[in-house]
Chain A
Amino acid sequence: MIRPAEIRPATAGPPDPAPAAERRPGPEPAPRGGTLARQRRRLFIPFVGPALLLYSVLFIAPIGAAVWISLHNWAGSGPMTWAGLRNYTRLFHDDLFTQSLRNTLELLFVVGAAVFAISFALTLILRDMAGRKAVRAVIFFPHLVNALVYGVLVGFLFNPDGLANSLLAHLGIHSPPQWLAQDNLFPLIMVTMTWMTTGYFTTILMAGVDRIPVSYYEDCALAGAGPLQRLRYVILPLTWDVFGVCAVLWTISSVKIFEIVWIFGGSSGNGIPPTKTWTSAVYTYATAFSGDSVPSYGAATASAILSLLLVTVLVVLLRRLMRREAVEF
């Protein structure tokens, strides 16, 4: 007698996890686990294949190509000469690269901490506020504005004859700080980044907090828990995974920060920003595409690969750090 388990095609991979002894002959459907597993296997390629294919062509292959280029000296076209790991060792000698990397990490950690502190505070304040939807839209707005606008705006506000100094002059301050001096430019970029991204993360965190059923808060009220206890025992554990996702999103985006630096200095993008404000992404771009000197694609891709490694390590660490038992509710 033929049982359903035996008409499985020979190529179907590992045996079903469901023991054959449990199967009964006859027209009844087979136990769910077995069929489901087989269905899943069958659908695996059609579902995952296209995405995997696109991902390989658009991401994995270019990364492989980038690694290859980073091992050469190359002006972007024309002859390529083998350089081995020299492009990498050169980066570590290069004070400008280390400084650019430091700037990137400053954006990641300092701006990140500020953004999360402010977003979380705003989330808690907005939770009980009237008209919070309108407020949320207002807070989100800076994220929608193109970074170029900030580049123009910063000149309008902080040029020697700008709005800030005119206001200060009214207050009797006639020797205001040199806002746009090269040394002040990076802190200004950090403030602008905070301003730009806070609304975005507030919105995500608020969505996480809004998910928490009201009954938990009522429970807190009945138990006589104060706001801090409510935060510690209800809000934080139940939004922890949202925090984790936000932290990963911020890490990835902060390592790529580029356009805001590019337009803050150097004639709004027509020139090259002062090296003091460079991030590793700007370093990469300027090395390959400055247009003012022979491009060195090898050094640029080496810097890009290092940035990629940095993101990977940071994301893995962060995931480990944020790992908690998921609380289901």
Chain B
Amino acid sequence: MGTQSAGRRRNVPIALGAAGALVCVVTACSGTGPGSSKEFTYWSMWKQGEPQQKVIAAAVADFQKQTGVKVKVQWQGRNNLQKLVPALNTNSVPDLVDGPYVKLVPALVATRQSLGLTAAFDTAVDGTTAGKLVPAKYLKTIDIKDAAGKPWMLPYSLTSDAVWYDAAAHPELRTDPPRTWDDFIALLNRLKQAGQTPLAADGDVTGYNAAYLSTLIVRNLGPGGLKKIASDRTGNAWLDPAVLDAAKKVEQLVRGGYLIDGYKASKWPAQQQKWANGKAALMFMGSWLPTESATYAEKGLTYASFPFPTTGAGHDSMRADFVGFAVPKKAHHAADAQRFAAFLLNKKYQDELGQEAKVIPVRADAATSPEMAGVKKSLDSADSFHQQNDGVAFPGYNEKLFWAKDDELFFGKISADTFVHDMQAAQAAYWKDQPQ
């Protein structure tokens, strides 16, 4: 044993020295250096084969042909931004990433790693500039400016939400959709009396469950209302009667028995599949529902939608989540990356995004698919907008606190009264433990 421990002792400095040497080698290797300026790297949120990927891939091919700039695309899928965060500490960052606003904020903006995209906004596209193609009305409530007042994101499409139905089965909803909460509840009652299941919901996706309450709070308090409540360090904002009213409306849905059987104990997309097969009349869901459910929907399903009902508090904002490009500050080829970001705002690709990928293109004049007609019409006529989670992204707030508590309300385990009081206490404890 004596020889071994002596060996070990002698080995430590050697090992440490060699470890240091290896670390140097590794880090030196990871630095990409300026290299050729005629290329850039793009980590995409789309995966090979997705309709959006096909449109963007075609745009990449055209861009390469027209500009001679090589685009090194990695079709990473929805985890691209989670992968980006650790990469930002190294020297090899992608030059371009894309994602929804709510995910770009925590990954890039909260970490102060986003580049101002003035160049992209000023790039000429179809006789105007890319920046002017982003409808100004969205930017009134959606803040895409960094601390220096520069935009950090160039959106290329939007997601929204709506209450979806099959227009073939319910043509009457096309002409006379419910506009207020009372109309909505009356409709649910009518459906129930007719022996139909009024509402489908996949309760295992907690974010979907919380969308009801988030939207109702925004209906009662206006865009930014939920964010204001969530920011209250005492938690007392939850005791506001308008918030209780929103929670009571969720309770009304649950207690009224309008939700599909088994919504508390199923695995996504089980209930969405049922909706797409006519086993429930309505589903409150994002604008991705038609593309997502297309493969298993029954024949003849005609996708149609109406906006989430208003509550009489005078707020009728539409959800508008930007999906778009951002460039990390450390990007080596930021200029070309911004050129490409603007390139996707060409009418050709915007039309393709609308008609082939069936999303809502950010350009107001781009074509959309028939499935999106209802959502597009509502967005065009709306003049105020809110975002998913109302833009709340405090560390762990949604997934550990708000959504977990909301599940109890949405599953009927607690009343609206208990819910707001629980949230008050839990939020006060949450903020007490957060760094100032």
For residue A183, give the distance in angstroms from its CB to the closest CB of chain B: 9
- Report which of B78, B204, B396 forms a contact with A274, defined as CB distance below 8 A: B204
Cβ of B61 within 8 Å of any chain A Cβ, yes or no, is no
Cβ of A272 within 8 Å of any chain B Cβ, yes or no, is yes
Give Cα A37–Cα B171 distance, bound, in whole angstroms: 91
Chain B CB count within 10 A is highest, among A75, A286, A293, for A293
Asked whether, in the complex, the Cβ of B82 is within 8 Å of the Cβ of A289, the reply is yes
Give Cα A49–Cα B82 distance, bound, in whole angstroms: 35
Cβ of B34 within 8 Å of any chain A Cβ, yes or no, is no
Give Cα A180–Cα B205 distance, bound, in whole angstroms: 12
Cβ of A149 within 8 Å of any chain B Cβ, yes or no, is no
User: Given A290-B399, A295-B395: A266 and B6 within 8 A (CB)?
Assistant: no
For residue B326, give the distance in angstroms from its CB to the closest CB of chain A: 14
Stretch of B47-55, B109-117, B158-166, B247-255 on the interface side: B109-117
Give Cα A300–Cα B252 distance, bound, in whole angstroms: 38
Give Cα A83–Cα B434 distance, bound, in whole angstroms: 11
For residue A4, give the distance in angstroms from its CB to the closest CB of chain B: 17
For residue A304, give the distance in angstroms from its CB to the closest CB of chain B: 14
Asked whether, in the complex, the Cβ of A159 is within 8 Å of the Cβ of B11, the reply is no
| Binary flags per residue of B69-113, CB closer than 8 Å to A gives 1, else 0 | 000000000110110011011000000000000110111001111
Asked whether, in the complex, the Cβ of B112 is within 8 Å of the Cβ of A271, the reply is no
Q: Which residue of A lies closest to B93 (CB)?
A: A77
Give Cα A245–Cα B394 distance, bound, in whole angstroms: 43
Asked whether, in the complex, the Cβ of B206 is within 8 Å of the Cβ of A272, the reply is yes
Asked whether, in the complex, the Cβ of B3 is within 8 Å of the Cβ of A293, the reply is no
Interface size class of A (residues with CB under 8 A): 35 or more
Q: Which residue of B lies closest to A16 (CB)?
A: B3
Give Cα A77–Cα B78 distance, bound, in whole angstroms: 19
Cβ of B433 within 8 Å of any chain A Cβ, yes or no, is yes
User: Given A53-B15, A77-B88, A293-B395: A271 and B206 within 8 A (CB)?
Assistant: yes
Cβ of A229 within 8 Å of any chain B Cβ, yes or no, is no
| Binary flags per residue of A91-119, CB closer than 8 Å to B gives 1, else 0 | 00110100000000000000000000000
For residue A260, give the distance in angstroms from its CB to the closest CB of chain B: 14
Contacts of A182 in B (CB 8 A): 264, 407, 411
- Report which of A76, A83, A180, A290 forms a contact with B266, defined as CB distance below 8 A: A180
Give Cα A244–Cα B89 distance, bound, in whole angstroms: 41
Contacts of A76 in B (CB 8 A): 85-86, 88-89, 107, 111
Asked whether, in the complex, the Cβ of A294 is within 8 Å of the Cβ of B106, the reply is yes
Give Cα A48–Cα B28 distance, bound, in whole angstroms: 26
Asked whether, in the complex, the Cβ of B6 is within 8 Å of the Cβ of A93, the reply is no
Cβ of B435 within 8 Å of any chain A Cβ, yes or no, is yes
Cβ of A78 within 8 Å of any chain B Cβ, yes or no, is yes
Contacts of B81 in A (CB 8 A): 291
Give Cα A267–Cα B292 distance, bound, in whole angstroms: 13
Asked whether, in the complex, the Cβ of A49 is within 8 Å of the Cβ of B14, the reply is yes
Contacts of A78 in B (CB 8 A): 88, 110-113
- Report which of B6, B393, B435 forms a contact with A81, defined as CB distance below 8 A: B435
Cβ of B398 within 8 Å of any chain A Cβ, yes or no, is yes
Query: Can you add 14 more A-B contacts, CB < 8 Å, to A14-B6, A48-B8, A295-B395?
Result: A41-B3, A41-B6, A45-B7, A61-B23, A75-B106, A155-B267, A265-B204, A267-B204, A268-B268, A271-B204, A272-B403, A293-B393, A294-B106, A299-B395
Binding site for A on B (CB under 8 A): 2-4, 6-8, 10-11, 14-16, 18-19, 22-23, 78-79, 81-82, 85-86, 88-89, 102-103, 105-107, 110-113, 202, 204-207, 261-262, 264-270, 274, 389, 392-400, 403-404, 407, 411, 429, 433, 435
13 A-B residue pairs with Cβ-Cβ distance under 8 Å, sorted by A, are A52-B11, A57-B23, A83-B435, A90-B433, A158-B267, A159-B267, A160-B265, A270-B78, A272-B403, A274-B206, A291-B103, A293-B106, A293-B393
Binding site for B on A (CB under 8 A): 13-14, 17, 37, 40-41, 44-45, 48-49, 52-53, 56-57, 61, 73, 75-79, 81, 83, 86, 90, 93-94, 96, 154-155, 158-161, 178-182, 184, 265-268, 270-272, 274-275, 286-287, 289-296, 299
